[in-house]
Amino acid sequence: MPTYKLKYFKNRGLAEPSRLVFAAAGVEYEDIRFDREQWQSEKESSSEKYPFGQMPVLEVDGEVISESKAIARYLANEFGLAGKTNLDKAKVDMVVDALQDIAKGLVEMLFGKDEAQKAEAKEKCLTKTIPTIFSALEKMLTSNNGGDGFFVGDSLTLADLAFIAHTDYHVDQLKEAATLSAFPKLTALRERVLEQPNIKKWIEARPKTEL
């Protein structure tokens, strides 16, 4: 087994899907978390380890991979959580990319330039982006054996794990909007995946962070 080092901030954020992949696969890794100051000095002293000057990065036996989705997909492929055929892998990618479209709106909602922009972003998220994307995902899930299993194929994949990581923000930052309430299969999927022993164990053990 190679040695894995995952480096990110003291957040769930863009690293959490990869951490969930490690957890689901039961694979050990070094979960390195920097605060802002440590990151500044790390960026300067070890810039060759951060190809785009950003985190997360994954170090695998000396190789460096940057970009959160590339990392998550790599780990999923390594551990059999990526989907079995090219078509299944494409469906997993579709789910992950669609969730990211919502995430862009959430980031603007939380970190937008001014209050007006944040409010506009929230409105767009709640009235357009989330309903469109969640209804497409509900349909996609339902079309896979009635929707009582997983997004793709008949076992857990990165699609389900990315969904968990993403909906943590719905459950926290968008709590009063109850964004999942209109989507019974998605709601049940979240509960089902959270109950998987390896996932449950990780969620109980992981550092509790706001984001």
Q: In the complex, which residues of this chain contact other proteins (CB under 8 A)?
A: 51-53, 60, 63, 65-67, 69-71, 73-74, 77-78, 86-87, 89-91, 93-94, 97-98, 101, 132-133, 135-136, 139-140
Tell me the closest approach of the beta carbon of residue 168 to other proteins, in angstroms: 22
How far is it between the farthest Cα atoms of the chain? 52
Write the DSSP symbol of residue 13.
G
Q: Closest CB to other proteins among 93 and 168?
A: 93
CB of 121 to other proteins, least distance (A): 12
Q: Hey, how many other C-beta atoms are within 10 angstroms of the C-beta on 117? A: 13
Minimum CB distance to other proteins, residue 151 (Å):
13
- Tell the smallest beta-carbon distance from residue 21 to other proteins (Å): 13
Nearer to other proteins by Cβ, of 54 and 196: the residue is: 54
**Could you tell me which of 72, 125, 127, 70 has the C-alpha nearest to residue 102?**
125
Q: State in angstroms the smallest separation of the CB of 95 from other proteins.
A: 9
Residue 51 or 200: the one with the smaller Cβ distance to other proteins is 51
Q: Which is nearer to other proteins, 76 or 156 (CB)?
A: 76
**Nearest one of 55, 50, 54, 96 to 73, comparing CA atoms:** 96
Residue 132 or residue 209: which is nearer to other proteins going by CB?
A: 132
DSSP class of residue 47 equals G
Q: Can you give the length of the chain in residues?
A: 211
Nearest alpha carbon to residue 165 among 84, 75, 95, 60? 95
> Which residue, 20 or 133, is less far from other proteins as judged by CB?
133
Please enumerate in sequence order all residues whose Cβ is within 8 A of that of 29, keeping only pairs 6 or more positions apart, or say none.
4, 5, 6, 22
Contact 62, 2 (CB under 8 A): no
Q: How far is the CB of 195 from other proteins (least distance, A)?
A: 28
